[in-house]
């Protein structure tokens, strides 16, 4: 019997382990690989398990998440196991459904092996669908593609972005050799190689079916048979496909769509003749070349499905080539139109833009800062054939740590070529490193469009002509741009800190602050050569040192056009007579007017144009006669003049509290001796004189405005509310005016009020009398409140209701100064009278809001019932004596609402300047029921009331007097005059 029980137990355990093997995937995130329970792949380890397990290659798989390989080198799934000719080993014959998830950032590097790709060989019967691959770099010998080296199965709704390089035959952006089906799939990438035949943007060699697909990018190499979509079409078919690839090769057989076709068929397929540079293609009448404009018109693609279904295409008329609906969005959002731009929200979006030349005429918006961490990129719009003619709005966001390394190639920059219709605006670039041959610039190598409100830091190096910190060659507009870039031109002409060569272009209100050097000529701190016929440089400056062999200037190396209202300060070293403090050489009809250089810092007493002045003179506004110090320039303040737009945010009030005090000084100390301060941050605003570092001059500027008794961190919110929708406490519409000005975001805190009391004590505006702070009638209050009680030092409300200390007063008198109980600095001040609230406001030139101004802000244009929204509860407001052991809570503890205001419902009643019998308070408190906290509830107390739930907030800006008028027509009584007109309903109040 006992043996039978043992047998039962062993059998049960064996069954459990057997079933576990049937239903659990030890090496995957789930699934069995069979039927409706495919293996689940959601991690790098899951994918590695697929690579390492050939016995699974006939099973089913599904992606359950994006997988980021972070630059890891992978082997293909189903690789060639023998270096000899032909494929050796098991193929992938299973299914993989990507479900739209992405495999990204991987390297497949097997330069001496065939069948390179995410999959080496996709066998007959296999199916890969809904898979996206981004930023793969694939290197192989023969049969190489991002998705697969060879395909005999079915590939549907797949997308690949990356780079493919091979030294042998059969190289494609998506698939190297296709003997299967590829439908509704696309690739954006670079396909290249030093030798070999049959190279195509999508497929290198096709003997089967390609339908509703496209390729975008570049196909290049020194081998033979290079096509924009397919290299060689040998008996297969290509239907409703297109290519927008650049063909960069002198191969024997090249074609805009197909390079060589034997017996294959092509129908309703197209290529971009302008971008490809190819006027011809194999494939007969079914392959038609179209201009770049025609490729963006739906009429070109007659017979294609634009119905909007998942098996159809989408086109933005006159803006983009067709896109496969099932593969959208290519970016984080948008459709590329002006109203709905493509959203660039991550580095993958940026790479998508780089590789998708068909989008270069679209509209983009940068929604987040991007950090590439030193990644080597290629330019957006690399040359004239693929220029950027769209609109890029950086929204003042930052792109950081990019490397553009193409020292043997032209047009190196974040953007290669910006066309005449192109525009890049409000973009900040930080720590970029660019190297190229000629036409080299940090933001743009060649600009025919408009660049404005952009800034850049980093380094730029070019070995030949036209090298600039921002732009290499410029023919249109650069406006309000800032460059702090070290620029090196090895041996070519025209090198500048901002622009290398300016030809019939306009440069306005821009500056360069980096060092510029070249072993050649026409070298300038701002512009190397200002040429053409209509070039203008106006309201600009340069501060970087300039080193050259020949023809150099602190501002401009050579000038034949117009320079006005400019200056330079950098040291100029040249070794020839043609090195000037401002301009190196100026030929007719060039002019330089109202422009200056520093003779001391430049080391130059002569210039081909402009006027030399000493450092002291250069830091005096009187030197710069007729300059616009109202709209363009900021007058010198312990430094040279600065462009107003670049310093408009700078103020000694570093924390924007409204006054300059100790907190501002501490912020400046935080940044003390920091260097490389640049626009727009200027080292947290501490580089007040824009000298590039935080030092004594900045301290002196802050000291001039310093007020040791300023309240800490008063946060203001600018508001304009008409008062529309305002109702009284009975729900009746009322018209009492609104509020236009600034109101403090938070209720006044204990720390702020104690700071004021110390200041008022020092200025003689208050005294301490027993347990009270009392007005002394000083001039700073704005009113004579002599003898009026401001604050009750001994305040302590009744215990109970969960408030053990009764909401005690938190400001203490030490006998010589006022302090705040630890932990209560940011709680709202309480036990303050209306006199005390008004005196605080007046002391700093502020005021209490009227009750109607308060309500206009609290009800958020009539849409709120409470200052925290339509409803109130204990998770969004402090009221009903319920949750908080000290009554009040820190200001802002419950978030912000409406106009981003805090605590306009509960915490403390807030004094206003309005009377209704007594002085009106609004908003309810920690001790109030819900209805007292509504935006329309009104109550009033005497001016000297000081309680544990009374506080206030302040505002600034002219008061909008609210007068309630009554229409009257009274003839009077006999012998007495009557009245016809309007009379104020109430007596005029104090405010």
pLDDT for 966: 67
**Segment 98-121, tens digit of pLDDT:** 988 889 999 999 999 999 999 999
- Pairwise CA distance, residues 631 & 539, whole Å: 11
Residue 15, pLDDT above cutoff 50: no
Q: Of 707, 716, 720, 740, which Cα lies nearest the Cα of 656?
A: 716
- Checking if the pLDDT of 325 tops 90, the result is no
Confidence grade of residue 357 (pLDDT, cut at 50, 70, 90): confident
Looking at per-residue pLDDT, the higher value among 303 and 708 belongs to 303
Which residue's entry shows tokens 């309201």?
539
905: Cα within 13 Å, side-chain hemisphere: 32
Q: What percent of the chain has pLDDT over 70?
A: 90
Q: What is the pLDDT of residue 711?
A: 61
**pLDDT value of residue 312:** 81
CA dist., res. 77 & res. 185, Å (int): 20
Report pLDDT for 4: 33
| Residues paired with 139 in a beta bridge | 109, 165
Predicted local confidence at residue 708, as pLDDT = 67
Mean pLDDT for the stretch of residues 269-284: 94
Cα–Cα distance list, 921 to 259, 442, 722, 837, 916 (Å): 83, 59, 21, 12, 10
Lowest mean pLDDT among 97-101, 634-638, 798-802: 798-802
Average pLDDT of 679-703?
92
Which residues partner with 412 through β-bridges?
A: 440
How far is C-alpha 214 from the geometric centre of its chain's CA atoms?
A: 31
* Whole-number Å distance between alpha carbons of 546 and 522: 11
Least confident of 397-411, 600-614, 731-745, 965-979: 965-979
> What's the token pair of residue 91?
């193929």
> What domains are defined for the chain?
66-301 (2.160.20.110), 369-642 (2.160.20.110), 649-705 (1.10.1330), 740-956 (3.90.1580.10)
Is residue 22 very low, low, confident or very high in pLDDT (cuts 50, 70, 90)? very low
Please give the pLDDT value at position 730.
86
pLDDT at 650 (0 to 100): 87
- Max mean pLDDT range (116-120, 347-351, 360-364, 859-863): 116-120
Band of pLDDT at residue 14, cut at 50, 70 and 90 = very low
| Cα 886 from Cα 455, distance rounded (Å) | 50
pLDDT surpasses 90 at 13: no
Q: How many helices (H) and strands (E) does the chain have?
A: 12, 80
Whether 709 has a pLDDT exceeding 90, the answer reads: no
Please tell me the predicted confidence (pLDDT) of residue 12. Answer: 34
491, two tokens: 């041996």
Q: According to the model, what pLDDT value does residue 340 have?
A: 82
784: confidence class by pLDDT, cuts 50, 70, 90:
low
Across the range 650-660, mean pLDDT stands at: 78
**pLDDT score recorded for residue 449:** 98
Per-residue pLDDT tens digits for 615-627? 999 999 999 999 9
Most confident of 437-451, 683-697, 746-760, 926-940: 437-451
Query: Is pLDDT at 961 greater than 80 in this prediction?
Result: no
The mean predicted confidence, pLDDT, of the chain is 89
**pLDDT of 513 higher than 80:** yes
Confidence class of residue 331 from pLDDT cuts 50, 70 and 90?
Answer: confident
pLDDT classification of 23: cutoffs 50, 70, 90: very low
Is 512 exposed, middle or buried, given 0-12, 13-18 or 19+ CB atoms closer than 10 A?
buried
User: Which pLDDT tens digit goes with each residue over 443-483?
Assistant: 999 999 999 999 999 999 999 999 999 999 999 999 999 99
| CB burial of residue 795 (10 Å; 0-12, 13-18, 19+) | buried
Report residue 633 as tokens: 């320039």
| For range 334-352, the mean pLDDT | 87
Bond from prior residue into 860 cis (ω within 30 degrees of 0): no
Q: Out of 137-151, 639-653, 780-794, give the one with best mean pLDDT.
A: 137-151
Given a cut of 60, is residue 783 above it in pLDDT? Answer: no
pLDDT at 142: 93
Q: What is the H or E stretch that residue 704 is in?
A: helix 696-705
Q: What share of the chain is helix, strand, coil (3-state, %, to 5)?
A: 15, 35, 50
Residue with the bigger pLDDT between 46 and 337: it is: 46
Rounded to an integer, the average pLDDT of 236-256 is 91
Q: What pLDDT, on a 0 to 100 scale, did the predictor assign at position 25? A: 43
- DSSP code string of 14-55: HHHHHHHHHH--SSSSS--SBTTBPEEE-SHHHHHHHHH-GG
Residue 684: which pLDDT band, with cuts at 50, 70 and 90?
very high
* pLDDT > 60? residue 782: no
| pLDDT mean over 236-249 | 93
Query: What is residue 163's predicted lDDT score, i.e. its pLDDT?
Result: 95
Q: What is the pLDDT of residue 152?
A: 98
Contact 604, 554 (CB under 8 A): yes
Q: Looking at residues 623-648, what average pLDDT do you find?
A: 94
Which pLDDT band, with edges at 50, 70 and 90, does 3 fall under? very low
Q: Picking from 66-75, 607-616, 702-711, which range would have the lowest pLDDT averaged per residue?
A: 702-711
pTM over 0.85: no
From CA 931, how far away is CA 554, in angstroms rounded?
A: 70
Tell me the average pLDDT across 393-404: 96
| Mean local confidence (pLDDT), 173-179 | 97
Which residues neighbour 840 within 8 Å (Cβ) at sequence distance 6 or greater? Answer: 748, 753, 756, 832, 952, 954
Which distant-in-sequence residues (6+ apart) come within 8 Å of 683 by Cβ? 671, 674, 677, 693, 694
């Amino acid at each position: 019997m006992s043996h039978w029980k043992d047998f039962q137990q062993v059998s049960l355990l064996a069954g459990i382990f057997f079933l576990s093997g049937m239903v659990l995937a030890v090496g995957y995130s789930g699934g069995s690989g069979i039927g409706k329970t495919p293996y689940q792949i959601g991690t790098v380890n899951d994918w590695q398990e697929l690579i390492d397990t050939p016995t699974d290659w006939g099973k089913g798989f599904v992606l359950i998440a994006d997988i980021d390989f972070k630059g890891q080198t992978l082997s293909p799934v189903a690789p060639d196991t023998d270096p000899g000719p032909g494929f050796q080993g098991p193929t992938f014959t299973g299914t993989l459904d990507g479900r739209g998830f992405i495999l990204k950032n991987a390297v497949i590097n097997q330069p001496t092996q065939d069948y390179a790709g995410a999959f080496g060989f996709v066998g007959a019967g296999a199916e890969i669908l809904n898979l996206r691959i981004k930023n793969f770099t694939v290197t192989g010998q023969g049969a190489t593609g991002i998705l697969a080296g060879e395909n005999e199965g079915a590939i549907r709704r797949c997308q690949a972005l990356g780079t493919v390089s091979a030294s042998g035959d059969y190289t494609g952006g998506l698939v190297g050799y296709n003997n299967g089906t590829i439908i509704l799939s696309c690739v954006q990438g670079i396909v290249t190689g030093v030798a070999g035949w049959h190279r195509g943007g999508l497929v290198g060699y096709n003997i089967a079916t390609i339908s509703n697909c496209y390729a975008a990018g570049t196909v290049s190499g020194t081998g033979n048979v290079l096509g924009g979509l397919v290299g060689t079409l040998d008996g297969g078919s290509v239907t409703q496909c297109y290519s927008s690839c650049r063909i960069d090769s002198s191969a024997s057989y090249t074609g805009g769509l197909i390079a060589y076709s034997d017996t294959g068929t092509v129908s309703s397929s197209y290529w971009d003749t302008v971008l490809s540079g190819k006027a011809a293609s194999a494939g007969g009448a079914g392959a038609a070349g179209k201009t770049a404009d025609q490729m963006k018109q739906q009429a070109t693609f007659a017979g294609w499905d634009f119905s909007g279904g998942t098996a159809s295409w989408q086109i933005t008329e006159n803006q983009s080539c067709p896109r496969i609906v099932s593969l959208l969005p290519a970016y984080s959002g948008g459709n590329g139109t002006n109203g709905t731009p493509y959203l660039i929200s991550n580095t993958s979006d940026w790479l998508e833009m780089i590789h998708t030349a068909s989008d270069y005429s679209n509209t983009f918006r940068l929604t987040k800062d991007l950090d590439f961490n030193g990644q080597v990129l290629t330019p957006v719009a690399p040359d004239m054939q693929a220029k950027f003619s769209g609109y890029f709005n950086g929204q003042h966001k930052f792109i950081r740590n990019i490397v553009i390394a193409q020292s043997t190639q032209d047009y190196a920059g974040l953007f290669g070529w910006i066309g005449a219709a192109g525009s890049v605006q409000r973009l900040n670039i930080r720590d970029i490193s660019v190297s190229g041959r000629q036409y080299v610039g940090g933001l743009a190598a060649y600009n025919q469009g408009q660049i404005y409100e952009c800034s850049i830091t980093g380094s730029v190096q070019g070995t030949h002509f036209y090298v600039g910190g921002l732009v290499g060659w410029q023919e249109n507009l650069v406006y309000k741009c800032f460059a702090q870039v070290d620029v090196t031109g090895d041996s070519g002409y025209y090198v500048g800190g901002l622009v290398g060569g300016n030809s019939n272009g306009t440069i306005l209100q821009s500056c360069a602050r980096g060092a510029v050097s070249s072993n050649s000529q026409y070298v300038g701190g701002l512009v190397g050569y200002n040429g053409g016929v209509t070039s203008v440089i106006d309201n600009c400056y340069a501060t970087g040192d300039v080193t050259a062999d020949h023809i150099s200037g602190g501002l401009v190396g050579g000038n034949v056009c117009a320079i006005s209202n400019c200056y330079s300060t950098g040291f100029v070293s040249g070794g020839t007579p043609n090195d000037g403090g401002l301009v190196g050489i100026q030929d007719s009809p060039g002019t330089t007017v109202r422009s200056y250089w520093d003779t001391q810092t430049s080391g130059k007493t002569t210039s081909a144009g402009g006027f030399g002045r000493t450092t002291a003179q250069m830091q005096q506004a009187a030197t710069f006669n007729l300059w616009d110090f109202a709209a363009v320039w900021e007058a010198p303040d312990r430094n040279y003049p600065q462009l107003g737009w670049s310093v408009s945010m700078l103020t000694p009030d570093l924390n924007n509290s409204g006054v300059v005090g100790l907190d501002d000084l501490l912020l400046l100390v935080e940044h003390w001796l920091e260097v490389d301060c640049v626009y727009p941050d200027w080292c947290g605003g501490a580089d007040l004189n824009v000298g590039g570092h935080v030092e004594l001059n900045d301290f002196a500027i802050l000291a001039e405005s310093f007020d040791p008794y300023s309240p800490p961190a008063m946060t203001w919110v600018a508001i304009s509310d008409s008062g529309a929708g305002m109702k009284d406490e009975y729900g009746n519409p009322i018209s009492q005016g609104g509020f236009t000005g600034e109101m403090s975001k938070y209720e006044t805190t204990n720390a702020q009020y104690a700071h004021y009391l110390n200041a008022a004590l020092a200025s003689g505006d208050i005294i301490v009398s027993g347990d009270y702070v009392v007005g002394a009638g000083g001039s700073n209050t704005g009113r004579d409140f002599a003898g009026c009680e401001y604050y009750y030092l001994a305040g302590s409300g009744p215990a109970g209701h969960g408030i053990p200390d009764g909401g005690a007063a938190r400001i203490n008198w030490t006998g010589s100064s006022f302090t705040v109980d630890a932990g209560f600095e940011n709680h709202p001040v309480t036990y303050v009278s209306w006199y005390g609230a008004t005196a605080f406001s007046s002391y700093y030139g502020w005021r209490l809001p009227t009750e109607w101004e308060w309500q206009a802000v609290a009800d958020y244009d009539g849409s709120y019932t409470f200052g925290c929204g339509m409803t109130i509860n204990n998770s969004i407001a402090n009221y009903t004596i319920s949750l908080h052991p000290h009554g009040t809570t820190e200001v802002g503890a419950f978030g912000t609402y409406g106009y981003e205001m805090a605590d306009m419902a509960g915490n403390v009643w807030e004094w206003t300047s309005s009377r209704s019998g007594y002085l009106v308070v609004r908003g309810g408190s920690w001790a109030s029921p819900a209805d007292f906290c509504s935006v329309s509830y009104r109550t009033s107390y005497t001016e000297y009331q000081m309680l544990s739930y009374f506080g206030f907030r302040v505002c600034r800006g002219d008061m909008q007097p609210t007068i309630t008028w009554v229409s009257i027509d009274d003839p009077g009584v006999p012998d007495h005059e009557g009245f016809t007109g309007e009379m104020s309903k109430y007596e005029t109040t104090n405010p």
